[in-house]
């Protein structure tokens, strides 16, 4: 077997989560696209998003949504990026609806909204408590239909190919040991976050900041690498592996945080970093390993209808949240830093883009507002695709005979 192979395409995308998929969907159909997944397509953090995806409900919501995002981010957000995300949010939601995403709706057919911490009003679209899985599954199904896109599972990016100071592709390793040199007109880094580097995280362990590490090795600008969000309400368990997240929307629907005396000690709808700090301080004061999340004030119908996955997971751990609280503990959740990009998701190296949690476009500032992550990924993935179209090379890139080798 030949352990080395050269492949050629117009665009290579490292990562098959929401950001990578949405980029591929918005590229021209005459562009030959190769997508890589480090593991199987199911093992991406986009699948794990529970609470939902934000949308600007209307012009009257702009000021409050903008302020909510800025306040959660400690006013370290890039204002231009926040403005772009808000103004392009409705287009993103409408596209998802057109593609078949099943957001919850009211009896009159309008979108149903829920609320999470640090939001001044409900503006979050959702599908039960598995919104990320719903969106990612729909996007993946659409991408698989495209004849110009090929997807490789169990293929890990290992480095970038650079010529004359520009990115001309990446190198990758398949699980079989085969080494690939993938030459592309444009390269998109969408490898997710850094949770796999932590002992306790809601992320899949394969998310180890690969793209950021490789970018640093090639002197590509990084930004806010110390901005890491801890989610306050993860299900406490002594079992090894990924921490199960209990969506912030549960608190938006009335769930409350209690100490071991059954006392509330924090406003559950404050920004995540504030709630996390309060829980950690209370745990230290009480000398315990966890606190409690009570669903006593949440309707059983809401628990079964809005949070069926959370309800089932808690049952598996021995807690019936219809009758008793569940133990919760903070865990690493989201990375606000990453590879520095501009409003078009372009990095500081020509023909190299970064999208999703891998990138840092400044939307989130120092602390992400709940349910802005999926929206930010979609908006700036689309912008990356549009920028590639507008700035594409005039000359023919690589022949179809080479591309056939990608199949």
Q: Which residues are part of the catalytic machinery?
A: 272
Report the pLDDT averaged over residues 21-43: 96
Q: Please state, for a pLDDT cut of 70, what percent of the chain lies above it.
A: 96
Tokens standing for 328? 């919760």
pLDDT of residue 91 exceeding 50, the answer is: yes
**pLDDT at 398 > cutoff 60:** no
Tell me 160's DSSP state: E
This prediction has a pTM of 0.90
User: Which residue would you say has higher pLDDT here, 170 or 395?
Assistant: 170
For residues 104-112, average pLDDT: 97
Q: What is the pLDDT of residues 47-79, one digit of tens each?
A: 988 889 999 999 999 999 999 999 999 999 999
For the domain 4-226+336-406, what is the CATH code? Answer: 3.50.50.60
**Statement: residue 379 has pLDDT above 80:** yes
Q: What angle do CA 202, 205, 208 make, to 5 degrees?
A: 105
H-state helical runs in 181-245: 210-217
Instruction: At 393, list the tokens.
Output: 């090379």
User: Distance (Å, rounded) from C-alpha 216 to C-alpha 203?
Assistant: 22
Helices then strands, counting H and E runs in the chain, come out as 12, 16
Q: Which tokens is 342 given?
A: 């501009």
Classify residue 75 as exposed, middle or buried by CB count within 10 Å of its CB (0-12, 13-18, 19+): exposed
Report the pLDDT value the prediction gives residue 251, as an integer from 0 to 100: 94
Q: How many CA atoms lie within 13 A of 193 on its CB side?
A: 29
Residues of CATH 3.90.700.10 domain(s) within the chain?
228-332
Q: In the CATH hierarchy, which fold is given to the domain comprising 228-332?
A: Flavocytochrome C3; Chain A, domain 1 (3.90.700)
DSSP 8-state secondary structure symbol assigned to residue 391:
T
Q: How confident is the model at residue 395, as a pLDDT?
A: 39
Contact 189, 15 (CB under 8 A): yes
Mean pLDDT value across residues 321-332: 96
Over residues 5-21, the mean pLDDT reads 97
Q: Judge whether residue 355 has pLDDT over 50.
A: yes
Give the three-class secondary structure for 401.
helix
Helix-helix angle 131-144:18-25, to 10 degrees: 40
State both tokens at 240: 């090894």
Count Cα neighbours of 191 within 13 Å in the Cβ-side half-sphere. Answer: 31
- Residue 240: predicted pLDDT: 82
Per-residue pLDDT, 241: 81
Is 397's pLDDT higher than 50? no
| pLDDT tens string 230-264 | 999 999 998 888 899 999 899 999 999 999 999 99
Phi, psi of 378 (to 5 degrees): -65, -50
Q: Which helix (H) or strand (E) holds 162?
A: strand 155-163
pLDDT digits (tens, 9 = 90+) for 255-276: 999 999 999 999 999 998 999 9
Distance in angstroms (rounded) separating the CA atoms of residues 137 and 18: 9
Judged against a pLDDT cut of 90, whether residue 2 lies above it is answered with: no
Higher pLDDT among residues 398 and 324, named by residue? 324
Average pLDDT, the chain: 94
Q: In the predicted model, is pLDDT for residue 290 greater than 90?
A: yes
**Domain(s) of CATH 3.50.50.60: residues in the chain:** 4-226+336-406
Residue 92 has what pLDDT? Answer: 98
- pLDDT tens-digit profile of 185-229? 999 999 999 999 998 899 999 999 999 999 999 999 999 999 999
């Amino acid at each position: 077997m030949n352990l080395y192979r050269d492949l050629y395409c117009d665009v290579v995308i490292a990562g098959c989560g929401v950001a990578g998929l949405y980029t591929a969907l918005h590229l021209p159909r005459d562009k030959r696209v190769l997508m890589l997944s480090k593991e199987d397509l199911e093992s991406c953090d986009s699948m794990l998003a529970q609470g939902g995806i934000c949308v600007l409900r209307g012009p009257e919501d702009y000021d409050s949504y903008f302020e909510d995002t800025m306040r959660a981010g400690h006013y370290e957000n890039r204002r231009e990026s926040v403005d772009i995300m808000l103004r392009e949010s409705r287009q993103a939601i409408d596209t998802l609806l057109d593609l078949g995403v099943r957001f919850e709706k009211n009896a009159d057919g309008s979108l149903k909204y829920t609320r999470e911490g640090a939001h001044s009003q409900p503006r979050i679209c959702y599908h039960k408590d598995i919104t990320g899985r719903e969106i990612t599954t729909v996007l993946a199904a659409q991408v698989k239909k495209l004849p110009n896109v090929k997807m490789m599972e169990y293929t890990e990016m290992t480095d970038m190919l650079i010529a004359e100071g520009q990115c001309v592709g990446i190198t990758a390793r398949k699980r079989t040991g085969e080494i690939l040199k993938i030459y592309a007109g444009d390269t998109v880094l969408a490898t997710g976050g850094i949770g796999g580097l932590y002992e306790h995280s809601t992320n899949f362990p394969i998310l180890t900041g690969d793209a950021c590490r490789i970018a640093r090795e090639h002197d590509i600008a990084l930004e806010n690498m110390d901005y890491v969000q801890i989610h306050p309400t993860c299900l406490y368990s002594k079992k090894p592996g990924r921490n199960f997240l209990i969506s912030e929307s549960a608190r938006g629907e009335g769930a409350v945080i209690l100490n071991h005396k059954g006392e509330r000690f924090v406003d559950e709808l404050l920004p995540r970093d504030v709630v996390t700090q309060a829980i950690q301080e209370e745990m230290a004061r009480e000398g315990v390993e966890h606190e409690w999340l009570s669903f006593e004030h949440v309707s059983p119908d809401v628990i079964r209808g809005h949070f069926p996955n959370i309800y089932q997971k808690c049952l598996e751990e021995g807690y019936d949240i219809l009758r008793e609280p569940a133990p919760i503990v903070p865990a690493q959740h989201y990375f606000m830093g990453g590879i520095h990009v501009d409003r078009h998701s372009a990095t500081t190296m020509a023909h190299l883009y970064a999208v999703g949690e891998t990138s840092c476009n400044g939307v989130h500032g120092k602390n992400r507002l709940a349910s802005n992550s999926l929206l930010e990924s979609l908006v700036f993935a689309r912008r990356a695709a549009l920028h590639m179209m507008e700035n594409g090379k005039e000359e023919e890139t690589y022949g179809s005979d080479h591309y056939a080798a990608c199949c």
